[in-house]
Structure 1
Amino acid sequence: MKKIIFALLLSAFCLASCDKYLDVQPKGVRLLETIRDYDEWLNSTDLETSAPSQLNLLDDRRDIAALASPITAANDRIFTWQDQYVETIPGAAPIWTTLYKTIYLYNVVINSVEGISDGTEQQRKRLKAEALLGRAFEYLYLVNLYAKVYNPATASKDLAVPFVTSVDVTDAMPGRSTVQEIYDKIIGDINAALPNLPTDNAANRFRGSVAAAHGVLAKTYLYMGNYNKAAEHAGMALSTGPNVIVDYTTLTSAKDIVTPMKRSDAIYARLGGLTYLSTDVPTQEFLRTFNTKDLRLKFYYTPITDLTFAVRGRTMFRHYGVVSGSGYPNWGISVAEMRLIIAETAARNNELVKACDELDVLRKRRFLAADYVKFTSTDKETVLKKVLEERGFELAFTGMRWFDMRRLDAEGRMPAVNRYLGNGQLIATLAPGSARYTLQIPKQVLFYNPSWEQNP
């Protein structure tokens, strides 16, 4: 029997895809023929919304105020860090299927666009480069979900995920690569893509660019703990692409923030699934860490009738007034995130003035002038904690917190995280160093690949 994951994907493609080709017949059957076909393929809604929305459920700042026992629904199982999210075999594999589906779409372009006769060689290389970048970005999610945190001493042995390049459903499924192999592939593919990427993606921030490639590299090196390389590429992302942070002090509300496709601070845009009208419920503890004058609190959390946040579940993330697809947070690469990577590197290097200055570039655009006080400190740990705190405020509920939790846990910086039923009863704890910081391979995938070793 062929060891293949595509069997899990094709049914999802045929039944649920918004892509016009997938509505006709499965991938790998109809061939794309023109540059326009491939260009439209890369504009697929499936690619724009590729970040799994369920990542926010893993977040320590996320709550489900009405959670009830027994825990059976997939989202509730994700929220409580269960070993498996769906027990039915065969069946759905949340998160895993979403990411590999997207990789499949990118592989279609990578494998075949250079072989068509339409268009120029430069156009064909550009489209392949964008697909290489997109695939690398998806693998960055996968390696930071289903593998241990990067450790240079063990990365060549720690198992990660299969690196799939085929679009033929009859091809044998590759085995699990190591963490080092996946990171090498990510970096290698982005470096291969860079010479052929467009210098400007202002017409559509969901598409690849030179700045987007450096932004993904910055995030990659951040998760590898190579902070100097992360800051280097963050700086290159800012110098080759957008370098403007949307100034909330000039806006009335989040309604005034334009769509991520055109947003001036979006280097590489993504949305967290088709969740334009959904909400996330923050914990009371997280809400209480905000400065009450912070415009991010005003723009993205509602209702705010009690600044002590005394009632669990009352205040939600994402302002109800934000129109669909407009002020929706960017789950991809932003100018603010690059600034925060530079600030974190400076703090870790004890360059505290530089770290505080980088924070200032962001924070003064999140408070009215009358309410703003620049943060300064001469204590390394205090500055680093402030940078990490600002990451939490700025990147809230964009699927990124789980990755920060993992790398901070590896440094001994994460406390125990508890989950409670609606009646206040403790139902689950994510302890420091827990094996649950690495997701298990879904049973539905192991069903087709029984020789694979399961994560602890």
Structure 2
Amino acid sequence: MKKLIYIILPLLLVIFSCKKFLDEKSDRSLAIAETLADQQSLLDHYQVLNQADGNAMEMSSTDFYLTDADFSSRLENERNMYTWQRANIFLPDLNEWGNNYRALYRANSVIENLAKIPRIASNAPQWDNVSGQAYFYRAKFILKSLFVWAPAYDAASAGTDLGVPLREGTDFNVPSFRASVEEGYAQVLADLKVSIRCLPPVAVHVIRPSKAAAFGLLARALLSMRRYNEAFLYADSSLQLKSELMDFNSLSPASALPIPRFNVEVLHDSFFTGVPLSNVRAKIDPQLIALYEPNDLRKVIFFNDNKNGTYGFKGSYEGSTTFFGGIAVDEVLLMRAECLARMNRLPEALADLNKLLRNRYKKNTFVDKQSSDQEVVKTMILTERRKELLMRGLRWPDVKRLNREGAGIIFNRVVKGINYSLTPNSTGFVLPIPEQVIELSGMPQNP
């Protein structure tokens, strides 16, 4: 009974109070953790592994804009990130790079510790589950780092394009160097395939990874690589395990936060924060608002009407003012739909799209979308992806991959009368690595 309490208690703590989920453990304690319960405890550290999704991709994207007054009130590094400057966009000590590699170190600690714990018949399910979680997190944080600090994957240049360091151990004496983009994505795919073999189909709680979540994350990685046939297979595998959608007719548009946390669509929960992104500051792009039809409930569920012609975002799957960065059924369904459209399997692609939209429109008002034109169907799906997945940090990698296909998407922002822009496939879509990291490691900086 004591062992059961030891394993379940961290889950109860995060459900009722994420602020004190687990005490911070020292690097020494990471290394000397001896039991499988110890390893699970390391992986249940919510602040390091779930609360660590950085906001750089959303801050750099154009789901939102700031008024001149709100822009002026922000820190210099935030203003620089917002206008796509090439220096001083991350704080020197607490930054997204450090959070990613702290999480990576924790995952590597567990992987190394597991090598010292024999896998036997009596502990095999728990041993496999813990191993699968560690490989999932290592893959997740490498992929996030690639999205921020590496160019979009392109098979023609990935072997020479600079990626990110692939730390596979815990020895600080091993120097860091930037692997190629090809090597980075190969590591992500390999780790996720290990996690899929090891994880249970559905976790005891969505704060832990599951097979369904790993399938979804692998589909996300392959989608960003534009390997659509493979992305379809893994998205489909995820949906075979979990495919339930919320009916937005059951939600209250009048609520300040209409979407509940840990709702039925969440496959794995994680989130990011950011003062400039808050509802009272970040104004949603009016061109994006205009995409929602009158009977589309997302317009009243996702957005707060500020009564002055602007809108704030209130549709986080965190059920709070923080921003969902995890994996959910709606994203996986849209990935499968897009891949099916690209494979010219249009009836199946439209079936997925219509399933989503029937749960997003006022009851009895939605008419199924139909077309036999591949480009029309693909455009419809990409438009719904834009409308469904905003403020999740996904717009940035989406634009990077779509511009590789000639989409020609330009990012523009006007601040105090000055126009800032990112042209398709420019180096501005690869953020500079924090200066302190470059100074300490000697790695080459992004151009």
Report TM bin, short chain.
Answer: 0.7 to 0.9
Q: CA deviation at 1:328?
A: 6.3
Alignment partner for residue 64 of structure 2, among 62, 73, 76?
62
1:227-279 Cα shifts (integer Å, max 9, x gaps) = 0100110000111x22101111122246564322xx2211222212488x943
Kept after mapping to 2: 8 A contact 1:256/1:327: no
Kept after mapping to 2: 8 A contact 1:86/1:92: no
Partner residue in 1 for 2:82: 79
Query: 1 CA distance for matches of 2:211 and 2:73?
Result: 48
- Distance change (3 Å), C-alpha of 1:27 and 1:303: farther
Q: Secondary structure at the match of 2:421?
A: strand
User: What does 1:97-176 align with in structure 2 at a 5 Å threshold?
Assistant: 97-116=98-117, 120-169=123-172, 171-176=173-178
- Distance change (3 Å), C-alpha of 1:302 and 1:116: same
After TM superposition, the score normalised by the length of structure 1 is: 0.84
CA RMSD of aligned residues (A): 2.8
Kept after mapping to 1: 8 A contact 2:271/2:325: yes
Q: CA deviation at 1:131?
A: 0.7
Kept after mapping to 1: 8 A contact 2:338/2:382: yes
Kept after mapping to 1: 8 A contact 2:88/2:435: no
User: What does 1:281-300 align with in structure 2 at a 5 Å threshold?
Assistant: 281-300=283-302
Query: 1 CA distance for matches of 2:407 and 2:273?
Result: 30
- Distance change (3 Å), C-alpha of 1:284 and 1:30: same
Q: Secondary structure at the match of 1:316?
A: strand
Q: CA deviation at 1:364?
A: 0.7
1:341-380 Cα shifts (integer Å, max 9, x gaps) = 1111122223322222211010010001243222222332
Query: 2 CA distance for matches of 1:224 and 1:67?
Result: 36
Partner residue in 2 for 1:453: 444
Query: 1 CA distance for matches of 2:381 and 2:358?
Result: 14
Query: 1 CA distance for matches of 2:27 and 2:195?
Result: 27
Q: CA deviation at 1:120?
A: 2.2
Kept after mapping to 2: 8 A contact 1:343/1:356: yes
Q: Secondary structure at the match of 1:285?
A: helix
User: What does 1:195-344 align with in structure 2 at a 5 Å threshold?
Assistant: 195-201=197-203, 203-239=204-240, 241-253=241-253, 255=257, 257-260=259-262, 263-273=263-273, 278-279=278-279, 280-303=282-305, 305=307, 309=309, 314-318=310-314, 325=319, 330-344=324-338
Does structure 1 residue 38 correspond to structure 2 residue 34? no
Q: Secondary structure at the match of 1:448?
A: helix
1:311-368 Cα shifts (integer Å, max 9, x gaps) = xxx311016xx89746966422111111111111122223322222211010010001
Query: 1 CA distance for matches of 2:374 and 2:265?
Result: 29
- Distance change (3 Å), C-alpha of 1:440 and 1:390: same
Kept after mapping to 2: 8 A contact 1:32/1:38: yes
Unaligned stretches of 5+ in structure 1? 1-16
Query: 2 CA distance for matches of 1:325 and 1:26?
Result: 33
Q: CA deviation at 1:178?
A: 0.8
After TM superposition, the score normalised by the length of structure 2 is: 0.86
- Distance change (3 Å), C-alpha of 1:87 and 1:156: closer
1:423-453 Cα shifts (integer Å, max 9, x gaps) = 4x13411112211111122211110122x22
Kept after mapping to 2: 8 A contact 1:164/1:173: no
Q: Which amino acid aligns with 1:434?
A: S
Q: Secondary structure at the match of 1:101?
A: helix
Q: Which amino acid aligns with 2:426?
A: S
Q: CA deviation at 1:70?
A: 11
User: What does 1:299-448 align with in structure 2 at a 5 Å threshold?
Assistant: 299-303=301-305, 305=307, 309=309, 314-318=310-314, 325=319, 330-421=324-415, 423=416, 425-448=417-440
- Distance change (3 Å), C-alpha of 1:323 and 1:131: closer
Q: Which amino acid aligns with 1:341?
A: M
- Distance change (3 Å), C-alpha of 1:248 and 1:329: farther
Q: CA deviation at 1:72?
A: 5.9
